[in-house]
Amino acid sequence: MQTSIWGITQMAAVRLRLCGAILLTLALTLPAFATLGGDEMSVEADRSQMNATVKVTEMDSYTVHEIKSPTGMVVREYVSSDGRVFGVAWGGPFIPDMHQLLGTYFQQYQAGVKAHHDAGPGRRPLNIQQPGLILVNAGHMRSFYGRAYDPGLLPQGIAANVIR
């Protein structure tokens, strides 16, 4: 058997490359979520990507799409009657991809995270209160939860506490 410069056999090197390719493939297929401020059309794409189930609950002036994945992640997308996502909430064993979840609000989120860290060390929930973005994220390993919304997108007569 030939060994490589790292002292492993060619067969082990092939296995290592195969494992790397599998991990890369899995990383590229992480779940996607509806984008805050986006449209309702993304819900089916999210369900499909997550290999999840969707439960739709109709309210008076909005709809809640609850997506449950086999990994235990639950994402609730709050969609106004005009088809726009005005809020999102999540819970599960990991923090979702915030860039995908927040879309155009991601830069505000990054600024809020920086301000949170600049405020000093310590473990505390992330609480961002900015014009156009309210976000809370808390929890611990294997149990994270949070919500985000744009107060300007809330349907008339709907309080922010419905997003949970």
DSSP 42-104: HHHHHHHHHT-EEEEEE-SSEEEEEEE-TTS-EEEEEEETTSBEEEEEEEESS---HHHHHGG
122 shares a domain with 145 = yes
Residues 68 and 7 in one domain: no
Residue of 101 and 17 predicted with greater confidence = 101
Q: Are residues 25 and 40 in the same domain?
A: no
DSSP SS3 for 118 = helix
Q: How confident is the model at residue 10 (pLDDT cuts 50, 70, 90)?
A: low
Same domain as 78, residue 157: yes
Could you tell me the residue range of the domain that residue 150 belongs to?
31-162
Pick from 126, 100, 110: which is nearest to 37 by CA? 100
pTM of the complete model: 0.76
Higher pLDDT, 32 or 76: 76
Taking residues 19-33, what's their average pLDDT? Answer: 39
Kindly state the tokens that stand for 29.
Answer: 């297929």
Q: What is the pLDDT of residue 100?
A: 81
Share of the chain above pLDDT 70, in %: 76
Same domain, 66 and 141: yes
Give yes or no for a contact between 148 and 88, defined as CB atoms under 8 angstroms apart. yes
Residue 31: predicted pLDDT = 45
When pLDDT is cut at 50, 70 and 90, the band that residue 3 belongs to is: low
Mean pLDDT of the chain: 82
Nearest alpha carbon to residue 92 among 52, 142, 58: 142
Q: How many domains does the chain have?
A: 2
**Greater pLDDT, 131 or 50:** 131
**Domain co-membership, 63 together with 144:** yes
Predicted local distance difference test score (pLDDT) of residue 148: 98
Percent of the chain with pLDDT over 90: 60
Residues 40 and 24 in one domain: no
Tens of pLDDT, residues 110-123: 999 999 999 988 88
